[in-house]
Amino acid sequence: MGFDTKNKATSQQPPYPLRNDSPHFRKISRYIGSLSLVLIAVSVAYYFCPGHLLARAAVAAGHTAHGQHLRASDPVCPQADALVPGVNHDLWLTLGEALSTQGFQDRAVYAISGAVKIKGESFGDMGPVGNDSRWEVHAAMHDYLVRAFPLINKFLKREIVNTYGLVYTWEGSDPSLKPLLMLAHMDTVPVDEDTLGAWTHPPWSGDFDGTYIWGRGSADDKSGMIGTMLAIEMLIGRRFSPTRTVILAFGFDEEIGGVQGAGHISPVLQQRYGPNSFAAILDEGGSFGEEYGSIFASPGIAEKGSMNVRMEITGAGGHSSVPPAHTSIGKLAAAIVKLEDNPFEAHLLRESVIYRRLLCLAQYGADMDPMLRQKIKDSMTSDQSLLELEKILFSGAPIVKTLVSTTQSVNVIQGGFAPNALPDRASAIVNHRIDSLSSSAAVKARDTYTLADVAQRFNLNYNPFGAQNYHSAAFTGNFSLVATTLLEPSPISPTDGVAYHILSGSIIAAYNAYNWTNSTHSKGEGDDTIFVTPALPSGNTDTRFYWNLSSNIYRYSHDNFGSPDHPLGGGVHSVNERLHIRVFLEMIRFYLTYILNMQEYRNI
């Protein structure tokens, strides 16, 4: 199917015309350090790509890597051309020049630093807004945004939802065009006070050392919120008025599920605009980095689901001097062992996002091992080759297995109250991350079936998920399964429509336009373009509340850091969270490019 190992990859035309009237860009001078998926999966809760894991899998299979290429003319992983604004081309160039000035850098540092200085931690035990005073910290952020962005507060309609959620509406001149919705969140994960001494700069300092802005939220996700607002402030300052309405929605509890923030904002937008009323939705998400000697950007097009299942076994208590053969805790332990001995089956399916990403890596990865490349090629038409590829990946890079399957993890256990008293109940919480091609119903059915023999073994009345599945006349207790939280897998956003190609073209244009002169990186061979491939984030974002507002939901931040030791930033959710100023300017350039490009297409 057109896999050619002799010709170097070049850009491919999209399946329909996109505007491409940009001037010749100067080549970028820089080298992006290799990102390890394992490090990304550990240090970033939500976004990672399997490319380096595949490389390790190839090594595990005894392959030797050396450079070979595939033709971009094959429709395996079509790429958009760099897409720069046409009608607003001069404006885009002017804004790009402004981004490189010391004056704008100082402005950007001031804006993000001020936001980092405002605490906005989200804690898992917070009550509803109005009943828990810890929410009140977000009032300071509201006041700050008014001061820091005077043009936005003058020209955009500002609404407050559920006390601390923010919605900004930049009204477009053409009401027939569906709006663009851009999301971010102002809250952060907490800072463990026991780690304060390990921070190079205090976590709420917002210090800028000439290279990095330091502090909690600098990368996740105040950079997204402030970067978007800086882009719009720049556009307003150049007297730009949108044709397509742009809406900003900022939640304040994304780190603990988003119920109070996005969970209240979404109904407001649904009531106002109706279902499927937005051209596209963009939220925090994937990044870009080097894999197999090529640069790949990885916008998330779907998310796994999530379900917490409470397993509880109850029975008669009593004095521990006269114990039964198995206490409630012992029976629960048997149920846990049964689950862990029977994990969900994992298979690499051609319909999965991860498989589609493999095709892209194989087509454009300059240094992919030729045997692995051939195995991926063969898997497109051969079921046997697909099984062999699956075996290579799962054995050489086991974390890939978690991306293509439903997972289970027993994370909380409770039972007993005294060493001389038999426990009358014991419980455990099992967290499932539901495969994007599966469902909660399938997970419930599998748990019910897997644990049924535990109920029978101990003569327990079995009540999985509200149904009486097994009843014993000589029962010794009760065994119940209850889904305490449930989020279905998200819809999979299309990659063959106008919206995705505008996003892809904007990513490529922003990347190509960025000047990495004096960067810590040097330009590497083959580092002359960026390829866009769909990805599956490992976590969930606020987009979970907006699924019915658009089919075009993408999770992408246009940063290029992932691991804590990466030279351009890191520390997300951990010690020494920081943001490289060049990364931040790159993000702003992308937001500018994307907003302007979204103004120039009607058929979305």
Q: What is the DSSP letter of 520?
A: S
Q: Number of C-alpha atoms within 13 angstroms, CB side, residue 101?
A: 8
Three-state SS for 546? coil
Number of residues written out for the chain: 604
What are the structure tokens assigned to 209, written together? 């050392």
Do 458 and 334 meet the contact criterion of CB atoms below 8 Å apart? Answer: yes
Closest among 10, 47, 25, 587 to 357, alpha carbons compared:
47
Do 377 and 31 meet the contact criterion of CB atoms below 8 Å apart? Answer: no
Closest among 216, 50, 114, 112 to 572, alpha carbons compared:
216
Do 541 and 284 meet the contact criterion of CB atoms below 8 Å apart? Answer: yes
- Catalytic hit among 81, 221, 233, 254: 254
Do 245 and 171 meet the contact criterion of CB atoms below 8 Å apart? Answer: yes
Q: Phi then psi for 199, rounded to 5 degrees?
A: -75, 130
- Catalytic hit among 121, 187, 220, 291: 187
What are the structure tokens assigned to 49, written together? 């790509």
Q: What is the DSSP letter of 470?
A: B
Partners of 251 in beta bridges: 185
253 is catalytic: no
Three-state SS for 540? coil
Q: Is 569 left (phi over 0), alpha (psi -120 to 50) or beta?
A: left
254 is catalytic: yes
Instruction: Please give the Cα distance from 580 to 586 (Å, whole number).
Output: 10
Q: Which are the catalytic amino acids?
A: 187, 254
